[in-house]
Structure 1
Amino acid sequence: MDTAQLKKDIIAYSKKIGIDKIGFASADVFGELKERLRRQQELSYQSGFEKGTVEERTEPERLLPEAKSIISIALAYPSRMKDAPKSTKEERRGLFARASWGTDYHVVMRDRLEKLAAFIKEQVPDVANRLMVDTGELSDRAVAERAGIGFSGKNTSIITPEFGSYVYLGEMITNIPFVPDDPVDDSCGECTKCIDACPTGAIVQGGQLNAQRCIAFLTQTKDFLPDEFRTKIGNRVYGCDTCQVVCPKNQKIDFHIHPEFEPEHGVSKPVLKPMLRISNREFKETFGHISGSWRGKKPIQRNALIALGHYKDKTAVDDIIKVMRTDPRPVIRGTAAWSLGKIGTEEAYMAIKEAMETEQDEQVQVEMEKGMAFQEVYQAKT
C-alpha cells in the first residue's frame, strides 16, 4: 500500500466534501494527557460528562486494537450573527453559545467522517476504523493538537492558524500507518486575556480548566445553580464563549462556510418569556436540531428564569409567578421564586409570600426565603 499517495488522496477528497482542516497523527499513547486527566480527577475538576476511563481516553489501542494512526478533522463555524435581534424591555432575549448555533455539529461532523471513511474503504477494502465526535472516549483536542490542526491554547481550546478556535473537531482511528503531521507551535506567549476574563475563574491556569466552575458546564446542569454563579451567567441559556471572544487569535475571525451552522435568530437568541411555558413537543420542534438541546428543556428554562432575574424584567412577573405556583419541578419553582425576588416588585413579593404558605419542598422553601430576602433589602433601601 502506498500510504503517502493515499494520504494525498484523502486530503484532496476531504476538501471536496467540505472538511476545512485535516491532519494525521500517530496512535501512540497520550502519556502527558493521561497525567493531566489523573490530576484533574484528584482535584475534582472534571465535569462528569466525560466518557470512558482515563486509559480509554488516552490509549487508542483500547478502542481499536489494530490502531496505527488517527485522522483529525475540523469544521469552522461562525463567530458573528448577521442582523442579530436586540433585546427590548418587552422581549428580553437569551443566548446560546456559538458552538450551538445551527444544526447539531455532532450530526454534521459524523456525516463528514462517514463519507471520509467510505472513501478510504473504497481504496483499502480491509481497513478498520472507529469514528468519534466529541462524545467518544478520545480527547478531540489532544488528537487535533498532535495532528497539527492547531495548538492547545490557555483557554483549553484548539486554536487554528486559519479559523482561530471557532472549529468543531472529530477524529477517525484507523489501522493504516500514515506518516504523522507536525504539530503547530504554541503562540499564546505571555497573553492571559482568557484567564483574566473568565467570569467564574474556571481557567485555573493556562491550559487547566476547573469544569465545575465553567459556565459552559454549569448551564447544562439540571439541579439548582449555586448562588455564586447566578449573577455570572447573565442571559446565557446554554454555554459560554467569553474565553474565545477575548482571545487575540480570534479577532476578526468569522467564517460562514457551512450553511448548516448558520444561526437562526429565534433559536440562537430566543425570547425568554415563551421559554417558561414551552411544552416538550414545542421544545423539540424548535430546539431539537441544535446541540444545546441535548439535556432537554429543564436546564434551559432554569437559565431563562435566572436571565429574567438578571434583567429585572418586570414584564415577566406574571409569567414567573405562574411557573412558581404550578410547575411540578422543584428546581424550576425554586428558581422562579429567586428570580421574582431579584426583579423586586411588590406583586412579586406578595406572590412569594403567599406561595410559601403551601410549598412543601424544603429546597424550594429555601429559594423562596432568598427571594423574600431580596425584597427586604430593596425595602430597606427605599
Structure 2
Amino acid sequence: MDIHELKADMIEYSQSIGIDKIGIASPDVFTELKERLRAQQENGYQSGFEKGTVDERTQPQNLVPEAKSIISIALAYPSKLQDAPQSVKGDRRGLFCRASWGQDYHDVLRDRLNKLAEYLEEKYPGFVFRSMVDTGELSDRAVAERAGIGFTGKNTNLITEEFGSYVYLGEMITNIPFSPDDPVEDSCGDCNICVDACPTGALIQGGQLNAQKCIAFLTQTKGFLPDEYRGVIGNRLYGCDTCQTVCPKNKRKRNLIHEEFQPDPEKVKPKLKPLLSISNREFKETYGEMAGSWRGKKPIQRNAILALAHFKDDSANDDLVRLMKEDPRPVIRGTAAWALGKIGNPDAYDSIMLAKQKENDAEVIAEMEKGIKLLEKEPKQLS
C-alpha cells in the first residue's frame, strides 16, 4: 500500500466530512511540553482538570505502543453572535464563551474522528488507533502545533492562518506510518496585547498561563469564587474570550461554517434572573447540549448571581433574598448574601441580618458579614 497516496486520499475525505484542517504529527516524545508541564506543576499553575501523568501526556507510545503517527484535526467555530439580544436594566443577561456555542464540540469532533477511523479501517489492514478530544491525555494544542495546523500564540491558544484561534482540536494516534507535516512558524512577534489585556493577569508571560487565575477556569469551579476575582468576572457565566477577542490574528474571522456550532442567542446570552430558579431538568433540557453545561447548573447559577451584583441589579433583590434564605447549597446562599451587599439596596441589610441569625454554615455567615460590610460602607442607604 502506498502510504503517501493513502494520506492524500484521507485528506480529501476529511474535507468531505467537514474537517476544516488536518495534519500529521510524529509520535515522538513532546520533550519541550514535558518540561513546561513540570514547571506548571511546580509553580501550582495547573487547573486540576488535566488527565494523566506528565509522561502519559507527553509520550504517545505510552498510550498506543504501536503508534507511528498522530492525525490532528481542527474544526472552526463562530466568533460573532448574530442578532444578539440586548442586556437592559432590570433584565440583564449573562454570556457563555464562544467555545460553548452550539452543540458540544466534544461530540462533533468525536463524530468526525469516528468517521475518519472507519474510513482508515477499510483502507489499512490491522489498523490500530486511539482518538481523543480535549479530555484525553495528550495536549491537543501541542499535537496540532507539531502537525502544522497552526502555532501557539502568547495567549496559549493555537492560532491558524485561516480561522484564527477559533478552532476546536482533536487527534488520533495511529499505527499508520504517515509522513509528518512541517510546523508553522510563530508569528506573534512583539505583539503582547493578549498578555496586557488578561483581566486577572493569568497570562504570566507570552505562552505561559496560570490556570488558577484564568477566568475560563474560575467560572467552572464549584466553590466560593475568591474575593479578588469577583470584580472582574463581569457577566461571564462560562469561560472567557478576552485573550482571543483582542488578538489581531482573529480580526475579521467569523467562521460561520458548521451548522452544529451556530449559537442560539437566547441560550448563549441568557437572562440572568431566570437562571436563579431553573430546575435541574430545565437546565439539562435547555443547556445540556452545550459544552458549558458539563459542570452542572451550580457554577452557572453562582456566576449569574455575581453578574447581577456586577450590574448592581436591584430588581433581583427578592430572588437573591429567597436564595439566601432557602437554597440548600451553601455556595449559593453565601454568594447571594454577598451580592445583596454589593447591589446596595437598603432593604437588604435587615434581610441579611435576619438570615444570619438562622444560618449555621460558617462560610455562609462569613459571606453574610461581607455583604453587611458592603452595605455599611454607604451609611446613607441604611437610614
Deviation at residue 381 of structure 1 after TM alignment: 8.4
- Which amino acid is 1:342 matched to? K
Deviations 1:166-206 (A, max 9, x none): 00000000001111001000000000000000000000000
- Which amino acid is 2:178 matched to? F
2:101 corresponds to which residue? 101
Deviations 1:240-267 (A, max 9, x none): 0000000000011111100110111111
1:352 aligns with 2:337: no
Aligned equivalents of 1:233, 1:290: Cα separation in 2: 20
Deviation at residue 306 of structure 1 after TM alignment: 0.3
5+ residue gaps in structure 2? none
* 1:250-289 equivalence runs, <5 A: 250-289=250-289
1:322 corresponds to which residue? 322
1:24 corresponds to which residue? 24
1:216 corresponds to which residue? 216
1:237 aligns with 2:229: no
Deviation at residue 320 of structure 1 after TM alignment: 0.8
Give me the identity figure in percent: 69
Aligned equivalents of 2:55, 2:13: Cα separation in 1: 33
1:124 aligns with 2:121: no
Aligned equivalents of 2:7, 2:61: Cα separation in 1: 21
Superposition misfits of 4+ residues, deviation over 4 angstroms? none
Deviation at residue 125 of structure 1 after TM alignment: 2.8
| TM-score, structure 1 as length reference | 0.99
1:163 corresponds to which residue? 163
Deviation at residue 14 of structure 1 after TM alignment: 0.3
Secondary structure of 2:377's partner?
helix
Aligned equivalents of 1:262, 1:297: Cα separation in 2: 22
Deviation at residue 90 of structure 1 after TM alignment: 2.3
2:304 corresponds to which residue? 304
Secondary structure of 1:75's partner?
strand
Aligned equivalents of 2:246, 2:12: Cα separation in 1: 34
Aligned equivalents of 1:51, 1:373: Cα separation in 2: 41
Aligned equivalents of 2:174, 2:196: Cα separation in 1: 40
Secondary structure of 2:4's partner?
helix
1:332 aligns with 2:332: yes
Deviations 1:251-284 (A, max 9, x none): 1111110011011111100100010001100100
- Which amino acid is 1:307 matched to? A
- Which amino acid is 1:341 matched to? G
Aligned equivalents of 1:270, 1:139: Cα separation in 2: 32
Aligned equivalents of 2:105, 2:369: Cα separation in 1: 41
Aligned equivalents of 1:209, 1:239: Cα separation in 2: 15
* 1:147-186 equivalence runs, <5 A: 147-186=147-186
| TM-score, structure 2 as length reference | 0.99
Secondary structure of 1:170's partner?
strand
Deviation at residue 88 of structure 1 after TM alignment: 1.1
5+ residue gaps in structure 1? none
- Provide the aligned length of Structure 1 versus Structure 2: 382
Aligned equivalents of 2:351, 2:125: Cα separation in 1: 68
Contact persistence 2:256–2:262 (CA under 8 A): yes
2:8 corresponds to which residue? 8
Aligned equivalents of 1:350, 1:252: Cα separation in 2: 51
Aligned equivalents of 1:225, 1:317: Cα separation in 2: 20
- Which amino acid is 1:202 matched to? A
Deviation at residue 208 of structure 1 after TM alignment: 0.3
Deviation at residue 350 of structure 1 after TM alignment: 1.6
- Which amino acid is 1:125 matched to? P
Aligned equivalents of 1:128, 1:315: Cα separation in 2: 59
Aligned equivalents of 2:251, 2:265: Cα separation in 1: 23
2:81 corresponds to which residue? 81
Aligned equivalents of 2:378, 2:80: Cα separation in 1: 38
